[in-house]
Structure 1
Amino acid sequence: MDYTIQNNFLKVVISSKGAEIQSVKSQLTDFEYIWQADPQVWGRHAPVLFPIVGHLKNDEYTYQGKTYHMTQHGFARDNEFTVERHTAESITLLLKDTEQTRAVYPFKFELRVNYNLLNNLLEENFSVVNKSDREMIFGIGGHPGFNVPVNDSCRKEDFYFTTLPSVARVKIPLKGPFLDWDNRYLASTNSLITLSDHLFKNDALIFQLRGHDNKVSLRTDLSDYHVNVWTRDAPFVGIWSQYPKTANFVCVEPWWGVADKTDTDGKLETKFGMNHLEEGQSFDAGFSMAFHE
């Protein structure tokens, strides 16, 4: 079921399936900021990634000696959430563990996803509560896809990314869908990154953020259009679009977790980039998106 939150600036539609944003439209111009999920290219809008981010090697992991199977980005994006609270400008959706989730992920949990509007800013907040009687290990992240308004006078290559603070960041290359950790290097993210289809020939651009607040902006000099994503305390951010199939969208993805390394031992207990949460404790994170046209 779809639910709407809105103010004088934005109208946002969120589905209870996956707690996924379906649409973010300007109240002034009716411009659609969110990719509309063409199944021939990429059939999602802005999935919530939980309890893993990215790929596991062979789509499996071991925990306490038992093997579990899980596909890319985990199961939250395909599960039905319940609405816990809904006001004009805010909504909170809840996912709890079930017999089906425990078959692939042996923990009891509560996952809340909250969306909150403040003028032209949309906050996406995550809260994870460990309901198990042991430490819980998980990854979580956002995956919003933004429309790139290409037209007769504006090409995709006229758009670019900027980052703040304006510093170099560690870039982690991929080998297939896995982190090529040993070949990470310091990248020039203190300069512009020009958008193009070819930019994603090796999959996502992944940067290590070291947990402090960062801003990634998608913009062009040919119009006032720009989207700002504040990653807050996310340790990683991915920038991605589909390739070799292409379309006029790009994702900016704050992550608290990341894909397996190429040399992973497959154990959840030692998986790189995961969050460890003690019994009864909660984990809170999130990011913000500001929309301008």
Structure 2
Amino acid sequence: MTVVLKNNQLNVKINEKGAEIVSVTNKELLEYIWDADPRHWKRHAPILFPIVGRLQNDEYNYEGTIYKMYQHGFARDSEFEVVEHTNTKVVFLLQPNDEIKLHYPFKFKLYVTYILNGNDLSVDMLVKNEDRHSMYFSIGAHPGFRIPLSPEKESFNDYSVTIIPDHQYSLISLDKDGLTTTNVHNKSGLTDPLPISHHLFSEDAKIFDVSENKKTTFKISSKKGKHGVAVTAYNNQYFGLWSTYPQESDFVCVEPWWGIADSESSTGFIKDKKDISRLRCGEDFYAKFTIKFF
């Protein structure tokens, strides 16, 4: 089932499966969200939970038991329940079912709330630990945006990314298996917009360490057009920037992450995972980002 949010500026469609945004159009009927063409990438804007990225061997160890967990976790393929819905707000809820329990032994509630306000869509993600023990998780988002937005007068290479605040950030590399490597270096020149090209993604996603910021914005805009998007996240450790390569696709994902993939040297124990979040019994975790469509 698809849920619709709308106001005088935007019309937003969100699937109950994955609580995933599938369409955002403005009053000119301009579509911002990637269409999930399976020949390129079959998703629109998945929610990432309870891991971000990939685990070594797609598995983790929790108290002596090995659990399988595939890239970005199970939330993106799970059916959420709608617990509240108005013209400009919807609240989705995910709780463990028998299938989830095979891969993740913790009792939890994951609420994903979308609120439409003018040209802004805010996304609030609330994790509640319902277990008697501490739970471990990461969370993030993976929205894909059509680039170019106006293909009749723009090309992919007309776009660039502006990062706010504008200083140098550490750039984290991935190996061929999607694990982080020890090749971490400072990326110079980020005080200027970063040009977008297909070759930019020749070594997989660009992952920026933004952990020093309380608020970070990645803005995608065109030198030939007036439309674009700006994704602002709060207190997240990382932003991912990704498109397919060598296949050339007309989208770019701008991904706020509270967590990251395993590294080449990960122990496999989820308690030791880099930047894993730990919630004690009865505690909550709150993550927030907003998308401005212009």
State yes or no: 1:178 paired with 2:179.
Answer: yes
- Larger displacement relative to structure 2 (151-160 or 79-88): 151-160
Displacement of 1:25: 0.5
Alignment length, in residue pairs? 290
Displacement of 1:140: 0.5
Displacement of 1:99: 2.2
Question: Secondary structure at 1:84's aligned position in 2?
Answer: strand
2:28 equivalent in structure 1: 29
| Unpaired runs of at least 5, structure 1 | none
1:57 equivalent in structure 2: 56
Displacement of 1:191: 2.0
Q: Which amino acid aligns with 2:240?
A: G
Displacement of 1:139: 0.5
Q: Which amino acid aligns with 2:134?
A: E
Q: Which amino acid aligns with 1:3?
A: V
Question: Secondary structure at 2:200's aligned position in 1?
Answer: helix
Q: Which amino acid aligns with 1:113?
A: V
Q: Which amino acid aligns with 2:200?
A: L
CA contact (8 A) 1:150 1:248 kept: no
Counterparts of 1:118-267 in structure 2, within 5 Å, are: 118-148=117-147, 149=149, 151-176=151-176, 177-180=178-181, 182-188=182-188, 189-210=190-211, 211-267=213-269
Counterparts of 1:74-153 in structure 2, within 5 Å, are: 74-148=73-147, 149=149, 151-153=151-153
Displacement of 1:156: 1.1
Distance 1:81 1:154 in 2: 37
Displacement of 1:154: 1.9
Distance 2:265 2:187 in 1: 23
Q: TM-score, normalised by structure 2?
A: 0.97
| Unpaired runs of at least 5, structure 2 | none
List 4+ stretches of structure 1 deviating above 6 A.
Answer: none
Displacement of 1:153: 3.4
CA contact (8 A) 1:200 1:240 kept: yes
Distance 2:259 2:220 in 1: 23
State yes or no: 1:272 paired with 2:271.
Answer: no
After superposition, the CA RMSD in angstroms is 1.0
> C-alpha deviations, 1:218-242, integer Å up to 9, x for none?
0112111121110121111100011
Displacement of 1:151: 2.6
> C-alpha deviations, 1:75-114, integer Å up to 9, x for none?
0010100001001100000000122211111100000000
